[in-house]
A and B are shown apart, each in its own frame.
Chain A
Amino acid sequence: MSAPAPAREAAAAASPEAPLLAVRGIDVSLGRPAVPILRDVSLTVRAGEIVGIVGETGSGKTTLARTIFGLVRPLRGVVEVEGAPVSALDGSRLRAFRRTGRVQLVFQDPLRSLDPDLTVAAIVGEGPAIQGVPAAERREKVARALELVGLDSSVASRTPGQISGGQRQRVSIARAVVSGPRLLVCDEPVSALDASNRNHILRLLDDLRRELGIGVVVISHDLGSLAGIADRVAVLYRGRIVEDGPVTEVFRDPRHPYTALLVASAPRVSGVHGHSLAALRQAGPTGVAGGCVFAHRCPFATSDCSIQPETAVSGDRHVACHHAATWPSAASRLERNHAHG
């Protein structure tokens, strides 16, 4: 369920108070004219922890990953990595921070993110080479990284086109862990893989956080993947986190209607996920605008929803919904009506 106690304790000792990653109330806009992409997003990741971010296309997942990495600067709020304010760095200081390799990104499609002409050894060794690590030490680091991700050393001399999809994703993870990162940010790391390979990669991420005590952010639109490994999950909709909490609790007992819709939409071999889709999918009332990001699609929206809901905290769960306490019974009523008529 959670990381073994020693890894957790070791991690806690390494960072006595500051979490590994603290995102506090960031607003991000992109483009000209500026289009708001993220609004008031907060997220904490501790060492040895896997935090999932789930959301649909256009929800701002990838922008959040890029902001954490320092590729995009927030208009408001801060991003801190081990207490260092990444969002306040610029120019050479930002490049110096990236060069430390403390935060690493892993992308969805390794065939596109890995240089097709380089060998696996060159791809994995590129970071250390830029950091000025001498060749002999570099070879050692590359060999260690490949071993860590479960790749045979014979793969080192091949190019990305010559290995399988699952192996390629292992190469991108080896590339990310070679410089000893503290935080891995994985953007849809398993979407391009079939179910067996998907689980291989998820297991690998799970092993890495235990063995290396690193923090991991996994961005995915696949709830099943996140349920498999994440400790906590944040649900992003149109740039806002509408709900977050421990992954099993959030998926079993969603408190935001959007989370409930995601859960009910997930394909499954058997069993029913909570409320029926029909009850959750009715369009919201027209004329509710400017408040809750989900109101236009929410069957439970009222005039209250034209005001942005505060994020309510109960235990380790957060939800931003005016009707969090009442919508589940309204959904059950809708279901009964469907059943009868």
Chain B
Amino acid sequence: MPSSRPLLSVTDLRVTVGGGAEAVRGVSFDVAPGESVGLVGESGSGKTLTCRAVLGVLPPGCAVTGGRVEFGGEDLTAFGRRQWEAVRGARIGAVFQDPASYLNPSLTVGAQLAEVLRVKAGLPRRAARAKAVELLGGMGLHDPARVYGQYPHELSGGMLQRVLIAIAVSCDPELLVADEATTALDVTVQAEVLELLGRLRRERGLSIVFVSHDLAVVAELCDRIAVFYGGELVESGPTEEVLASPRHPYTEALLRVASVGDWGRRTLDVIPGQPPPVGAAVTGCRFADRCAFAADACRQGDIPLSALPEGRAVRCVRASEVALAGAGALMGEAR
């Protein structure tokens, strides 16, 4: 998406866990206004910590030790508590995996949505209620006036996630951060929530940072994709191009284990080995030990993220030599 200036610009972000181990090791990416970017990778790849750093809600013991997170021209990493209050929940909304745990079980969902509208958007009580019902309806919930008066336990997981999305977008944010927001949902509901997010994007010009371990889910929603491995970005670019012709062996490996879209495919590929422990000192490529293409050159020193045409980038010294299979070829293999 062409834009003079990104809405969110993460530059050389570093996050440590427990005071020492570096779990996010110099991650950089931009999100343009109205663009949706997917962060993918295995458990422990640093994708979730990156998104939590963008939200300023790192878990205890984790700290940003370097880099910048610029949002609308301001560096969020320098923000104090008060400044965050004006951004989080207002200009940046967030949804997480388990919606039930983010709602108060003893208040109706409508009261919780209306509270956000009163506190954050400054609406009077009556207007907040009307706007809340309107928002719930806009999330595709049937009979929103009735849903307004219901308690979290009375709603299904998919309905709760719609309520959470309503809260997240209630103050017309410019950016929505969704961390595994559809992972726990049934497949038909997941498809509906992904469509809802796509619609909100189109209607409101919302930017989305979407974190998922599922490449197929990211492919449904995101314009661009950023692949995380061992705390680093190993490949990024437009979703279609990256999936059609991955340039990093790890991206290809992720494609092989994902649901590419052919039910006849019965080979269950796995990625051998385990990712390096968080913060481990590795000379050269962090994926080398699990990579079928690893050579001596891969273990000689730091490997930079190299820019490629079409807005793509890859962190692999052998990117120009190795032949990797894209989604199309993998589907062909199945037949």
- Contact pattern, B 229-264, Cβ under 8 Å of A = 1, otherwise 0: 000000000000001100000000111011111111
Is residue B279 contacting chain A, with contact meaning CB distance below 8 A?
no
**CB distance B243 to A194 under 8 Å?**
no
Is residue B194 contacting chain A, with contact meaning CB distance below 8 A?
yes
Chain B hits for A252, CB < 8 A? 263-264
**CB distance B157 to A248 under 8 Å?**
no
Q: How far is the CA of A203 from the CA of B268 in the complex (A)?
A: 7
Chain B hits for A221, CB < 8 A? 186-187
Q: How far is the CA of A229 from the CA of B262 in the complex (A)?
A: 14
Smallest beta-carbon distance B179→chain A, Å: 14
Is residue B43 contacting chain A, with contact meaning CB distance below 8 A?
yes
Q: How far is the CA of A268 from the CA of B268 in the complex (A)?
A: 16
Is residue A326 contacting chain B, with contact meaning CB distance below 8 A?
no
Within 8 A of B (CB), among A144-174: 164-165
Q: How far is the CA of A199 from the CA of B328 in the complex (A)?
A: 21
- Contact pattern, A 180-208, Cβ under 8 Å of B = 1, otherwise 0: 00000000000000111011101100100
**CB distance A270 to B266 under 8 Å?**
no
**CB distance A196 to B259 under 8 Å?**
no
Chain A hits for B274, CB < 8 A? 164
Q: What residue of chain A has the Cβ atom nearest to residue B254's Cβ?
A: A195
The contact of A269 among B189, B260, B271, by CB within 8 Å, is B260
- On whether A195 and B219 interact (CB within 8 A), knowing A203-B270, A268-B260, the answer reads no
Q: How far is the CA of A251 from the CA of B269 in the complex (A)?
A: 20
- Contact pattern, A 249-277, Cβ under 8 Å of B = 1, otherwise 0: 00110000000011111111111110001
The contact of A271 among B186, B217, B257, B260, by CB within 8 Å, is B260
Is residue B42 contacting chain A, with contact meaning CB distance below 8 A?
yes
The winner among B186, B243, B264 for most chain A CB atoms within 10 A is: B186
Is residue B265 contacting chain A, with contact meaning CB distance below 8 A?
yes
The contact of A57 among B43, B157, B244, B271, by CB within 8 Å, is B157
Smallest beta-carbon distance A282→chain B, Å: 13
Chain A hits for B262, CB < 8 A? 271
**CB distance A269 to B215 under 8 Å?**
yes
Q: What residue of chain A has the Cβ atom nearest to residue B253's Cβ?
A: A196
Within 8 A of A (CB), among B206-223: 213-217, 219-220
Smallest beta-carbon distance A213→chain B, Å: 20
- On whether A195 and B258 interact (CB within 8 A), knowing A56-B188, A203-B268, A262-B187, the answer reads yes
Is residue A83 contacting chain B, with contact meaning CB distance below 8 A?
no
Q: How far is the CA of A265 from the CA of B186 in the complex (A)?
A: 10
How extensive is the interface on chain A, given as a class?
A: 35 or more
- On whether A194 and B42 interact (CB within 8 A), knowing A199-B257, A267-B214, the answer reads yes
Is residue B156 contacting chain A, with contact meaning CB distance below 8 A?
yes
- On whether A269 and B268 interact (CB within 8 A), knowing A57-B186, A195-B213, the answer reads no
Is residue B191 contacting chain A, with contact meaning CB distance below 8 A?
yes
The contact of A223 among B187, B253, B266, B328, by CB within 8 Å, is B187
Q: How far is the CA of A247 from the CA of B264 in the complex (A)?
A: 9
Chain A hits for B43, CB < 8 A? 165, 194
How extensive is the interface on chain B, given as a class?
A: 35 or more
Chain B hits for A248, CB < 8 A? 263-264, 266
Q: How far is the CA of A271 from the CA of B253 in the complex (A)?
A: 19
Smallest beta-carbon distance B95→chain A, Å: 17
Within 8 A of B (CB), among A31-77: 56-58
The winner among B219, B257, B263, B270 for most chain A CB atoms within 10 A is: B263
Q: How far is the CA of A247 from the CA of B269 in the complex (A)?
A: 19
The contact of B257 among A195, A247, A264, by CB within 8 Å, is A195
Is residue A126 contacting chain B, with contact meaning CB distance below 8 A?
no
Chain B hits for A196, CB < 8 A? 42, 253-254, 257, 270-271
Is residue A85 contacting chain B, with contact meaning CB distance below 8 A?
no
Q: How far is the CA of A288 from the CA of B258 in the complex (A)?
A: 39
Q: How far is the CA of A222 from the CA of B259 in the complex (A)?
A: 10
**CB distance A222 to B263 under 8 Å?**
no
Smallest beta-carbon distance B36→chain A, Å: 15
Is residue B327 contacting chain A, with contact meaning CB distance below 8 A?
yes
Smallest beta-carbon distance B226→chain A, Å: 16
**CB distance A277 to B268 under 8 Å?**
no
The contact of A270 among B186, B214, B271, B328, by CB within 8 Å, is B328
The contact of A228 among B187, B219, B268, B328, by CB within 8 Å, is B268
Is residue B190 contacting chain A, with contact meaning CB distance below 8 A?
yes
The contact of A268 among B244, B254, B259, by CB within 8 Å, is B259
Q: How far is the CA of A199 from the CA of B244 in the complex (A)?
A: 22
Chain A hits for B217, CB < 8 A? 267
Is residue A1 contacting chain B, with contact meaning CB distance below 8 A?
yes
Is residue B58 contacting chain A, with contact meaning CB distance below 8 A?
no
**CB distance B188 to A267 under 8 Å?**
no
Q: What residue of chain A has the Cβ atom nearest to residue B195's Cβ?
A: A277
**CB distance A277 to B259 under 8 Å?**
no
Chain B hits for A261, CB < 8 A? 188
27 A/B residue pairs, CB under 8 Å, sorted by A: A56-B186, A56-B188, A194-B213, A195-B214, A196-B42, A196-B254, A196-B257, A199-B257, A199-B268, A199-B270, A200-B270, A203-B268, A206-B268, A224-B216, A229-B268, A248-B263, A248-B264, A251-B263, A261-B188, A265-B190, A266-B191, A267-B220, A268-B260, A269-B259, A270-B244, A270-B260, A277-B191
| List of 8 A-B pairs having minimum Cβ-Cβ separation, nearest first | A271-B261, A268-B261, A224-B259, A267-B216, A265-B191, A251-B263, A56-B186, A195-B257
Known: A227-B263, A270-B261, A271-B331. 9 other contacts (CB 8 A): A164-B274, A165-B43, A195-B257, A199-B269, A200-B270, A248-B264, A265-B191, A266-B191, A267-B190
